[in-house]
Amino acid sequence: MSKKRLVMIGNGMAGLRTIEEILERDSEQYEITIIGKEPYPNYNRIMLSNILQKKMSVKETIMNSYQWYKTHGIELVTNDPVISVNREKKEIITEKNKQFHYDICIFATGSSAFVLPIPGSQLNSVIGWRTIDDTERMIEIAQTNKHAIVIGGGLLGLECARGLMDQGMEVTVIHLAEWLMEMQLDKKAGELLKADLEAQGMHFKMEARTEKILGEHDVTGIELADGTTLKADLVVMAVGIRPYTQVAQSCGLEVNRGIVVNDFMRTSDESIYAVGECAEHRGQTYGLVAPLYEQGRVLADYLTHMPTEGYQGSTTFTSLKVSGCDLYSAGQIREDAEVKGIEIFDSVNKHYKKVFLKGDNIVGAVLYGDIEDGSRFFNMMKKKEEIQDYTMVSLLHKGSESSGLNIADMADDETVCGCNGVNKGTIVDAITQNGLTSIDEVTQLTKAGNSCGKCKGQIGQILEHTLGDDFVANKPAGICACTDLTRDQIVTQIRAKSLKTSKEVRHALDFKDKNGCPKCRPAINYYLNMIHPFQHTDEIESRFANERYHANIQNDGTFSVIPQMRGGVTDAEQLIRLGEVAKKYNVPLVKVTGSQRIGLYGIKKELLPKVWSDLGMRSASAYGKKTRSVKSCVGKAFCRFGTQFTTRLGIRLEEAFEYIDTPHKFKMGVSGCPRSCVESGVKDFGVISVENGFQIYIGGNGGTEVTIGQYLTTVETEDEVIKLCGAFMQYYRETGIYAERTAPWLERLGFENVSTILLDEKKQTTLYERIMKVKSAMDKEPWSALLNHKKARQIFEVEKV
């Protein structure tokens, strides 16, 4: 029996879920073609805000790879939208004039962003945010522009606004209503949300209407109905979506707001179905993923002749993916003659909960700050569970009394992942039957957590409850005994919740010891410095003693003081001053160090401020996890074997990156010829001069375990060396684990991966620009009075000739 031809118009989340469900039920019934208008395979549109907020890459949002389509024998057409459907011939025609015959056609065309029909809405930098291309266009504009306006204070608009702030823009949200997200939140929750977002730096114009957008080719500003004008380089419309129905309407299908379907998702044509945002069921269209996936399951059952009661409509919920703001909304959230609300507000922690009741049943809930009960309320609503056995209001639980979700008491049929309709029992069965030990494995097999990701914490709890001690053995090691969170998890949460201090991190991420320990305190301080170089005030109390005192503690409790000597270059004035201080304080040892500097050893701690004051020099940073000195030979200026001016380059490198924090000490060496007197091959960043330029080696480490640096590339100029060094250092800063040297870091990430990123001109430039921004924040460095080394300047000038 030959297969029926099934052609789906649209390559989005709802449509692909329908196809996945069909394949699970019967993979042999249909020959499938999928036609998409975007140049990508199916991706998670919900996660576009995470791309904008720098939490994910485009690649990480792909849900079905090109290989997936091939594996399942699906013909995929991308970047070629359908323009017409001939229902008599059962034929579909695309923009590129491709023709496809169908036995069954599914419209999964989704929605398009609604753009206000106001003057200026056609300008280049006005965007209706909906796609990857829209997101990348916004990021591109943000690189060179400062001011953004987001029209619409709903879920999409606020996620967009937060993302544009993360891109470095100053953002104002224009909202027509009295409070934010008025369709999902009551006034109290909306006001709490606004206050938290304002604290993050977001600006608002409430009860405001945009009259027109100003500019000729690109946006220059907007004008509000009251005459107020605001400066803008980018305007994003987030005022709603409209089901994409043009093709359906032009071929004669019944269309109202969306494509009209019955309970089995069939349109007015018995061979054509519709699913997702483009479908209208019982007068209702849906823009959230959970009901769309429910529709997909019903349609898959119907098309594979499985028993189904049809689609009965959905109870929806909303959660927000904005840094530092946790909210949950479900069901009916307005009081009336029949619906009454019970609310509790904890003003200390800004936790707000309101449950809406109709008789003895929960019909809605709004949670802000503490959303742990969201899933429980949602399940009670879906199951129409009566509330007689529940306490209406609870206050001041003891620490040992749980007020939130108890996984052990949770019924197997209770929904864990609302987006994908996955309950606890399905997850437990998947764990026990397939030996799953991680959240990612559960997600891959059950799809729980594959959409908005808010339920991953509960999935982890179910894993822990199901596996017991085995789960502990399989958990990733935390950074210290205070927490089970890894470096990546902590960094992600700092960004996601916009945490600004170590104390906030330890409390918000629920560290076991809220005071921290000597292992996590300096690590978190580093991560905060790395993520927020301008906003975070360096917490000196979290640094090791060496870094607090700008001196290295020795085996007898005294300290070594090592002033800065860029490139190992000094002069008579500095030498005299060093001698005078050594004499004045009876310094036991004055020694040339292994890093081409002069150290004063054996100084008591109480004398350190006086010694530094008398020296009047900057510290050489010979103690911290940051850029150390750059060793160099005299090179071409004096040595007969030298091929380049290495001392000059060494000084330039040190000036460019001095005092910048790194996960571990970062050493550099610049050798004037392949003899490599400076031992550049065992430096984190090593440079060996050759006739045609500079060979670059990375990941070399000395110490108890010596690692030879790996050859990266050869560049021609000093400027290229500095740019490449900055990009390498910044990539190490952003991805390294605190106290991890470059050799194990390079092994962990893979040399090929790192080299591909560093040698990509665009990525290299971006990384270099980011570290230069960090350098500009180093004015906070207490040793800001820079000593002018006459000899260093003289050599620099000689080598320029």
Per-residue pLDDT tens over the stretch 68-95: 999 999 999 999 999 999 999 999 999 9
- Give the span between the Cα atoms of 419 and 83, in whole angstroms: 31
pLDDT of residue 408: 62
Q: What percent of the chain has pLDDT over 90?
A: 44
pLDDT of residue 514: 73
pLDDT tens digit string along 241-294?
999 999 999 999 999 999 999 999 999 999 999 999 999 999 999 988 889 999
Q: How many CB atoms lie within 10 A of CB 38?
A: 18
Instruction: Identify the domain boundary among 199, 224, 239.
Output: 239
Q: Cβ distance 326 to 320 under 8 Å?
A: yes
Q: Which residue has the tokens 């401020």?
A: 609
Nearest partner of 705 among 743, 677, 661, judged by Cα: 743
Q: Cβ distance 785 to 616 under 8 Å?
A: yes
Q: In terms of pLDDT, which residue wins out, 561 or 219?
A: 219
Q: Is the pLDDT of residue 781 over 50?
A: no
Instruction: Identify the domain boundary among 575, 594, 615.
Output: 615
Q: Could you tell me if residue 323 is inside a domain?
A: no
The answer to whether 677 is annotated as binding is: yes
Q: In terms of pLDDT, which residue wins out, 567 or 330?
A: 330
Q: Is the pLDDT of residue 150 over 90?
A: yes
The answer to whether 633 is annotated as binding is: yes
CA distances from 754 to 56, 528, 722, 728, 797 (A): 18, 23, 17, 8, 35
- Give the span between the Cα atoms of 60 and 179, in whole angstroms: 34
Q: Cβ distance 267 to 274 under 8 Å?
A: yes
pLDDT of residue 171: 96
Do both 265 and 180 map to the same domain?
Answer: no
Do both 656 and 733 map to the same domain?
Answer: yes
Nearest partner of 537 among 201, 772, 198, 782, judged by Cα: 782
Can you tell me whether residue 99 is helix, strand or coil? strand
- Give the span between the Cα atoms of 567 and 599, in whole angstroms: 15
Do both 742 and 773 map to the same domain?
Answer: yes
Burial of residue 80, with CB atoms counted within 10 A of its CB: 0-12 exposed, 13-18 middle, 19 or more buried? middle
Task: Kindly indicate the confidence band of residue 410, based on its pLDDT and cuts at 50, 70 and 90.
Answer: confident
Do both 726 and 669 map to the same domain?
Answer: yes
In this prediction, residues 607-617 reach a mean pLDDT of 85
Nearest partner of 281 among 302, 254, 308, 306, judged by Cα: 254
Do both 234 and 247 map to the same domain?
Answer: no
Q: Cβ distance 152 to 237 under 8 Å?
A: yes
CATH number for 436: 1.10.10.1100
pLDDT of residue 552: 76
Task: Kindly indicate the confidence band of residue 402, based on its pLDDT and cuts at 50, 70 and 90.
Answer: very low
Do both 234 and 256 map to the same domain?
Answer: no
In this prediction, residues 98-121 reach a mean pLDDT of 95
> Which residues are registered as beta bridge partners of 203?
172
* Residue 504 tokens, joined: 């906030």
Q: How many helices (H) and strands (E) does the chain have?
A: 26, 36
pTM for the model stands at: 0.58
Q: Could you tell me if residue 717 is inside a domain?
A: yes
Task: Kindly indicate the confidence band of residue 798, based on its pLDDT and cuts at 50, 70 and 90.
Answer: very low
Q: Cβ distance 635 to 645 under 8 Å?
A: yes
Can you tell me whether residue 62 is helix, strand or coil? strand
In this prediction, residues 499-527 reach a mean pLDDT of 84
Structural domain for 445, as ranges: 412-475
193-202, 629-638, 702-711, range with greatest mean pLDDT: 193-202
pLDDT tens digit string along 446-497?
888 776 666 776 787 788 778 765 554 344 457 887 888 888 888 888 888 8
Q: Which amino acid is at 35?
A: I
Do both 235 and 255 map to the same domain?
Answer: no
pLDDT of residue 249: 97
Q: Cβ distance 733 to 749 under 8 Å?
A: no
CATH number for 606: 3.90.480.10
Q: Is the pLDDT of residue 33 over 90?
A: yes
Q: Is the pLDDT of residue 635 over 90?
A: no
Q: Could you tell me if residue 508 is inside a domain?
A: yes
In whole numbers, what is the pLDDT of the chain averaged over residues? Answer: 85
Q: Is the pLDDT of residue 62 over 60?
A: yes
pLDDT of residue 399: 40
Beta strand 327-331 with 598-603 is unpaired
Q: How many CA atoms lie within 13 A of 374 on its CB side?
A: 25
Do both 772 and 659 map to the same domain?
Answer: yes
Phi, psi for 710 (deg, rounded to 5): -100, 135
pLDDT tens digit string along 304-329?
999 999 999 987 777 765 656 778 88
Do both 58 and 91 map to the same domain?
Answer: yes
End-to-end CA separation in angstroms for the chain: 84
Beta strand 710-715 with 693-698 is antiparallel
- Give the span between the Cα atoms of 239 and 160, in whole angstroms: 12
Beta strand 170-175 with 147-151 is parallel
Do both 688 and 584 map to the same domain?
Answer: no
Q: In the 3-class helix/strand/coil scheme, how is 568-611 assigned residue by residue?
A: HCCCHHHHHHHHHHHHHCCCCEEEECCCCCEEEEEECHHHHHHH
Q: Is the pLDDT of residue 793 over 50?
A: no
Q: In terms of pLDDT, which residue wins out, 396 or 47?
A: 47
Nearest partner of 130 among 157, 148, 107, judged by Cα: 157
Q: Could you tell me if residue 69 is inside a domain?
A: yes
Taking the mean position of all CA atoms in its chain, how far away is CA 339?
Answer: 39
Do both 788 and 643 map to the same domain?
Answer: yes
Q: In terms of pLDDT, which residue wins out, 677 or 303?
A: 303
- Give the span between the Cα atoms of 59 and 262, in whole angstroms: 36
CATH number for 135: 3.50.50.60
pLDDT of residue 510: 82
In this prediction, residues 327-332 reach a mean pLDDT of 86
* Residue 769 tokens, joined: 């620009």
Q: How many CA atoms lie within 13 A of 44 on its CB side?
A: 21
In this prediction, residues 725-738 reach a mean pLDDT of 92
pLDDT tens digit string along 637-668?
888 888 888 889 988 998 888 888 899 989 98
127-131, 155-159, 265-269, 653-657, range with greatest mean pLDDT: 265-269
Nearest partner of 621 among 571, 657, 585, 584, judged by Cα: 657
Do both 644 and 793 map to the same domain?
Answer: yes
Q: Is the pLDDT of residue 586 over 80?
A: yes
Instruction: Identify the domain boundary among 303, 324, 347.
Output: 303
pLDDT tens digit string along 533-560?
888 888 877 777 677 767 777 767 788 8
Transcribe 780-798 into DSSP letters. G-S--S----HHHHHHHHH
pLDDT of residue 472: 45
Q: In terms of pLDDT, which residue wins out, 765 or 1?
A: 765
Q: Is the pLDDT of residue 784 over 50?
A: no
Tell me how many domains the chain contains: 6
Nearest partner of 397 among 366, 372, 422, judged by Cα: 372
pLDDT of residue 785: 34
pLDDT of residue 786: 34
Those residues with Cβ within 8 angstroms of residue 586's Cβ, 6 or more apart along the chain or in another chain: none
Q: Could you tell me if residue 380 is inside a domain?
A: no
Q: Cβ distance 184 to 374 under 8 Å?
A: no
Q: Could you tell me if residue 740 is inside a domain?
A: yes
- Give the span between the Cα atoms of 276 and 294, in whole angstroms: 9
